[in-house]
Every structure is written in structure tokens, then in C-alpha cells.
Amino acid sequence: MNLLERIGRVFLRLFEETGLWFGMLARTFLWTFRPPFEGGEWLRQMVRVGVDSIPVVFLTTMFTGMVMALQTYIGFHRVHAENFVGSVVALAMLRELSPVLVGLMVTGRVGSSMAAEIGTMRVTEQLDALQALATDPVQYLFVPRVIAGIVMLPLLTILGDALGVGGGYLVGVKLMGANPVVYQNNTYQFLHMNDVWSGLIKSAFFGLILTLTGCVRGYYTRGGAEGVGRATTAAVVSASLIILFTDFFLTKLLF
Amino acid sequence: MATETPMISMQHVDKTLGGRKVLDDMSIDVARGEALVIVGGSGVGKSVTLKHIIGLMQPDRGRIVIDGQDIAELRTVELNNFRRKFGMSFQEGALFDSMSVFENIAFPLRRHTKYTEQQIRERVDECLDLVHLPGVSSKRPSELSGGMRRRVGFARAISLKPEILLFDEPTTGLDPVISDVIAELIVEMDRTLNTTTVTITHDMKVAFKIADRVAMLYKGRIVEEGTPEVFQQSTNPIVQQFIEGRAEGPLTE
């Protein structure tokens, strides 16, 4: 196989998988509005995506806020701009770090397990059994998971915002000895409501991406236990990449 | 030929999977109330045939008509509802392992009927009685033996009172005694529920026990069919080799 052929193949696969992904997105969307509605299943998935992710989100965002404060303080100290540490930490957390880190952490925690779960159902014929029982797997499995992602990721991001800014405050005030009142004022000085919204909108998209990717990868699993392993890895890798791509374009779009 | 329309009719079905022609001009009719058993070696397209009948796979060419309805003409949602006519039992049971036995059998009832909790409980017990497996409803699928899992799968398949029952390798991986118990159970269910059944298996003993008519699938099409008696007498070397389980013959060439 020559180089051009290989490149061509990679692109063909990429297009094919993109097509599958958007096809499933459309099916998920359509099935969302068709009865019966799985109230209990929606709640269960929300607990799984949201509530169960709190410890991970707690540690990740808090420490990121703390290290952000530490690093910017070191840098800004050299140009005597220590006053702006609070503003930078808040802006970075709200606009960028909290949504992206929460998205990536939840991808690793939940996106992977969704791929493994649905993939196992595929290889043990449970997906066929669902259909044989007159139940569309997209409706029963995809819809509750994707809804949970879209609803819970913004909520986790709000938590992350608070913890990140709080962690920054702890380091700035307790460790670096900044004046508490001045630090707080600086934190809010340059913030707009828009900063909060753009982070939350992004995180809703990330929630959609990570859950749908997990489901789609699981759905198209082939080849026993090994296939489930591959699907799980692929779900995490592709969801993470898509999140980072979309992050750039959404940021450009939302300012 | 029977005068009434067949319950299941596959007409000249072709299906290629992964570059290999699995079904090649496959045609077969199943009359209302009949028990058909399709036999054949591994990988000759038995499972694929069943999946076509219930619409889990679409044919590349040909038609599949169920109770006078061409299933290719149904839209996604209609096909979904149409599947309530069917009960299907899968190879390893394919029970939902996140649910208890009770929830597995109650699953189609909750989704497709307006039964109260009381009625659901009664129907689940009824189904478990029919497969002679009372008192396991609180167990998890992982706690059951292979034979029990198969029977719970049957109970789930019949809970919506289907007109057509499909059995995919109902006895594979079970010991001979349990296989016989399962075969008897299928005969009994077929009689009491008055269904049309299609069973696929490679176990000839089971096939002769269940079948009104046996058909042999080879290289993607039916090569022989008839009542168990006729089938057994077949002079077709392929059939003879398969029934006798010999290593030499046209099947292994």
C-alpha cells in the first residue's frame, strides 16, 4: 500500500465515522420526543453522570485553581502585577479550565463506562434482545444518557467554577499573603456574566459529545471482550479529541 | 400447498456480510401454527435467517413477508411495534444483566402494556410457571445456570403473548438431559400458546423432537425440507452426513 492510499483510507474512515456519529445524533434527537419516556432511567443516568462525578470534579478543579494562582503569582510577581492574580484565575477557570477539565474527567469516568456497558450488551446480544422486545436501543439507552450529559455537565461546571476560584483564593490569600479584600475585588473586577455563560454553554456541548461518543462506540462494538476494550479506549480518545477541537471553535464563536 | 397465506414467508433473500454471501436466494414459508426447525452447520446463516425474520437485519435482495406484511415497507417506529408479534430467545439468553429476573420479564410488559404493578406481577409469575421455573424472580441473571437462563429468556419472550416464537440455538452448551428438558418445554409452549415457531439448532435430536417440519440450510439456501420422518429418510448426501455426524462427506469437502 502506498502512502497516498493510506492517507486516503484514514480520511475515508474519518468521514464514515463522522457520518455515523451525526446519524446517531439525529436518531437520538428524534427519539427524545417519542413516548414512552424513561423518567426513571433519565434520573438514574443523571445520578451516574452528575452526582457520582462530584468527588473527581472537586479535586480536579480545586487543585487546578490552586496551581493557577501559584503559577500566575510567580509570573506576575516579576512584573509587579500580583494584583491581577485573582482576575486571571477567575477568568481562566470560568471561561476555559472548569468546562474543559470537567468534560475530560467525566469522559474518562463516564464516557468510557458507557462504551463498555453498551459494548458488552452488543456482544452478548442484549441489544438485539432489546429490539426483539420492540424497544429501540437508541431510545432506551442513548436518550437518557445524552440528556444526563447535557444537563449535568453545566451543573458540574458551576461547581468547578466555584471550587477553582475558591482554590485560587486559598493560595493567594493564605499562602501568598495577598489582602483578602483586595484579592476578592480583583477576582470580580473584570468578570462579565458572559464569562459564566460561555463556559456553561460549552460544557453542555461537551456533555453531549462525551455521552454520545461513548454510546456510539459501544453500539458499534465488534468481536467479544477485546472489542469491548477497543471500544472503551476509542470512546475516551475520540471524545477527548472532539472536546478539545470543539472547545476552540465554540470559544471563537461565543467570545 | 396450504391455501391460507403463510405466517412467515422469505422470498429469494440474499445477504452479504463482510464480503461473504451468507444467504443466497433463500426462500422458505412457515404456515400459521407450524413448528419449523432449521438445521445446519456453524456459519451457514442460521442466526442470520432468524435476524431477518424479526427485522434485525435487512435483506440485500428479496422480500420477507410476515402475516401478509412486507417488513421492508415498515418505518422504524412501525417496525418496532410490529415486533410485538414476536418473541425471541437468544443463544445465551441475552438477559439484561443489570436487572433481576423479575425486571427482565416485566420489561416488555412495562413498556408495551398498561398493566398495573399487580397485573405485571401476576403475568411474570404466570410466565415463570410456564417455563417451570417458579421462585427465581428476585435472582440476578448471573446467579442462574445456563439452562435456567435459557428458560428465563423463554419466559421473557412469551410475556407479551406473541404469535411467533423464534429460538436461536436453544440447547447449545447444555448437557444432553437439560437439552431434552428444554426441547420438551419448547414443544409444550408451542402447544399451550398456539404459536408459530421457528427454531434453529444443530442438534438433530432436539430438531426431531420439536419439529413439524425440518429444513436444512447449506451455503445460504434450503437444500432439503420435510417432516422429521421424510427428512430422516432423505437421500441427499449432505443431509445424511449431517444427521449421522460423519467427518467425511460433501459438507466437509
Q: Residues B218-236: pLDDT tens digits?
A: 888 898 899 989 888 888 8
How far is it, in rounded angstroms, from Cα B205 to Cα B80?
35
Q: Are A93 and A161 in contact (CB under 8 A)?
A: yes
Distance of CA A205 to the CA centre of its chain: 8
DSSP states along A136-156: -HIIIIIHHHHHHHHHHHHHH
Q: Are A88 and A72 in contact (CB under 8 A)?
A: yes
Per-chain mean pLDDT for chain A: 93
How far is it, in rounded angstroms, from Cα B94 to Cα A148?
26
Measured CB to CB, residues of chain B less than 8 Å from chain A are 51, 54, 56, 76-77, 80-84, 86-88, 90-92, 94-97, 107-108, 111-112, 156-157, 160, 166
pLDDT at B3: 56
The better pLDDT of the pair A122, B45 is held by: A122
Half-sphere exposure of B76 (CA within 13 A, CB side): 9
Mean pLDDT throughout A186-200?
A: 91
Centre a 10 Å sphere on the Cβ of residue B143 and count the other Cβ atoms it contains: 12
Mean pLDDT throughout A216-221?
A: 96
Q: Are strands B35-39 and B61-66 parallel, antiparallel or unpaired?
A: unpaired
pLDDT at B1: 45
Distance of CA B6 to the CA centre of its chain: 17
Which residues of chain B carry a pLDDT beneath 70? 1-3
Greatest Cα-to-Cα distance within chain B, rounded to the nearest angstrom? 58
Q: Which of B90, B95, B111 sits opposite A135 (nearest CB)?
A: B111
Mean pLDDT throughout A52-66?
A: 96
pLDDT at B86: 92
Query: How many domains does chain A fold into?
Result: 1
Handedness of CA A205, A207, A212, A217 (dihedral sign): positive
DSSP states along A177-202: ---HHHHHHHHHHT--HHHHHHHHHH
Residue A51 has pLDDT above 70, yes or no: yes
Cross-chain Cβ contact B86/A132 below 8 Å: yes
Which range marks the domain in which residue A40 is found? 3-254
How far is it, in rounded angstroms, from Cα A90 to Cα A167?
10
pLDDT at B242: 87
- Helix A143-169 vs helix A193-219: angle between axes, to the nearest 10 degrees? 140
Percent of chain A with pLDDT strictly greater than 90:
86
How far is it, in rounded angstroms, from Cα A193 to Cα B5?
69
Quick one: pLDDT band at residue A254, thresholds 50, 70, 90? confident
Please tell me if residue A13 touches chain B, with a CB cutoff of 8 Å.
no
* Interface test with chain B among A133, A141, A219, by most B beta carbons within 10 Å: A133
Quick one: pLDDT band at residue A248, thresholds 50, 70, 90? very high
- Domain locations along chain B: 8-91+163-252
Residue B35's SS3 state is strand
- DSSP annotation of A220: T
Superfamily covering domain B8-91+163-252? P-loop containing nucleotide triphosphate hydrolases (3.40.50.300)
Chain B's closest residue to A122, CA to CA, is B94
